[in-house]
Amino acid sequence: MADILVYALHYEGAINKNSLGAVSEGAALASELGGECHVIVVGGDDLTDGLCASVGNWGATKVYRVNAPEGLAQPVVDAMAKVIGDDGHGYALFGGGLLGFEVGAGLAARLGAGVAMEVTAVRAQDGKLVAERPILGDSAISEIAFRSPVGIIIGRLNAFEAKETGGGPAAVQDVEVELSPHAQQATMIQRGEQRGADVDIEGADVLVAGGRGLGKPEGFELVEELAKAFGGNSAVAATRAVVDAGWYPYAAQIGQTGKTVAPKLYLAAGISGAIQHKVGMQSSENIVAINKDANAPIFEFSDLGVVGDLNKIVPKLTEAIKAKKGS
Ligand SMILES: Cc1cc2nc3c(=O)[nH]c(=O)nc-3n(C[C@H](O)[C@H](O)[C@H](O)COP(=O)(O)OP(=O)(O)OC[C@H]3O[C@@H](n4cnc5c(N)ncnc54)[C@H](O)[C@@H]3O)c2cc1C
């Protein structure tokens, strides 16, 4: 079947941006396959008709609304397995994020379906979908096609761009799902944003960005101290490598699949300068890089490059700025 089912996560009355990206991608791909993009949402009274139907604006034609706990993987697996079983979707698409990975993996196991994870692009070819997934530390791209009747595609967080189509409201269909016993064993106690979700890197004048060269999550204390020393409108940013590793929140990620910034000063500590990072910060007014590798690509587009160990340089720079400011 050419129809694509997208799982849309929602929180505090809004569909998650990453999910809307998956809906947009699903709608574009379904139209190339000659099918439709359908969305499944799971939750309680917060799932109003208006909220559900709104995904039509991102290209979905139908929304399945399931009354079950939101934010837990197993109820969503039960719901998606039923909908796919009843209506025969050819693909399930997820925007990524931890819940997307968990639901997608569970659904693949349930349906005996092929799964592609950490996908960064999808295309239609000969009436089927082919997913692209970076491998070997993002140095090569593998292509994944599906032999199973259902293909499961889980994107990297924010890999798919949310594009409003101006389409009308999607049709909302309520679906009754009988949850399996194991899906009822977990209860959501509290939902919330991870640390730093309120970081506003887009509006900062000074950004101190940290990469894998910081060595460990605690390494971010060095760049936080430096940003604090700058004071004013300064903030800490990060590369994809470190947010994927859980060292810093996604909200701080700069680059192709993160945010685009243009501060007055962008200071990179332990960042190699991969093209996907560069596209998010190259418009910064002044770029300063600290890297122990004199051949690091970031030096090719820095205004000032310091070759050396950030563990020695960053604390000294912090002290120098504090001294200059007299604090
Ligand atoms: C489709 C796609 C989308 C992507 N999107 C993004 C994105 O949005 N943003 C992004 O950032 N990346 C993105 N990436 C990943 C990107 O390709 C790189 O893997 C990533 O940017 C590397 O992060 P990094 O510079 O922190 O780590 P690394 O590349 O590992 O670099 C670490 C650097 O630290 C230096 N270093 C190590 N120790 C020290 C020390 N003690 N002192 C000084 N320097 C030190 C090293 O010399 C090295 O240059 C994407 C990749 C793909 C395929």
Q: How far apart are alpha carbons 291 and 312 in whole angstroms?
A: 11
Dmax over Cα atoms in the chain, in whole Å? 69
DSSP state of 202: T
**Which pLDDT value is given to residue 138?**
67
Q: Residue with structure tokens 């799964």?
A: 115
Structure confidence at residue 156 as a pLDDT band (50, 70, 90): confident
**Which pLDDT value is given to residue 96?**
76
| pLDDT > 70 in the chain, percent | 97
For a mutational test of ligand 1's pocket, the pick from 240, 250, 281, 309, i.e. the residue with the most ligand atoms closer than 8 A to its C-beta, is 240
| pLDDT > 90 in the chain, percent | 74
Q: Where are the alpha helices (H) located in the chain, listed in sequence order?
A: 17-33, 49-53, 73-87, 97-111, 220-230, 240-244, 275-281, 310-325
DSSP state of 246: T
Kindly state if the Cβ of 293 falls inside 6 Å of ligand 1. yes
Neighbouring residues of 310: CB distance < 8 A, sequence distance ≥ 6: 213, 214, 222, 269, 270, 290, 291, 292
- 241 Cα–ligand 1 center, Å: 6
Contact, 7 vs 23, CB < 8 A? no
Q: Residue with structure tokens 């359908």?
A: 38
Kindly state if the Cβ of 234 falls inside 6 Å of ligand 1. no
- The mean pLDDT value for 52-72 works out to 95
- 174 Cα–ligand 1 center, Å: 45
Contact, 24 vs 13, CB < 8 A? no
**Which pLDDT value is given to residue 88?**
96
Q: How far apart are alpha carbons 75 and 67 in whole angstroms?
A: 10
Kindly state if the Cβ of 158 falls inside 6 Å of ligand 1. no
Residue 258 pLDDT greater than 90, yes or no: no
- The mean pLDDT value for 121-146 works out to 91
Structure confidence at residue 194 as a pLDDT band (50, 70, 90): low
CA dihedral 209, 214, 220, 223 (to 10 degrees): -50
Closest CA to 78 of 174, 176, 1, 147: 176
Q: How far apart are alpha carbons 321 and 316 in whole angstroms?
A: 9
- The mean pLDDT value for 219-242 works out to 95
Closest C-alpha to ligand 1, atom 40? 309
Which pLDDT tens digit goes with each residue over 270-291? 999 999 999 889 989 999 999 9
- 36 Cα–ligand 1 center, Å: 37
**Considering the chain, what is the average pLDDT of its residues?**
92
Kindly state if the Cβ of 211 falls inside 6 Å of ligand 1. yes
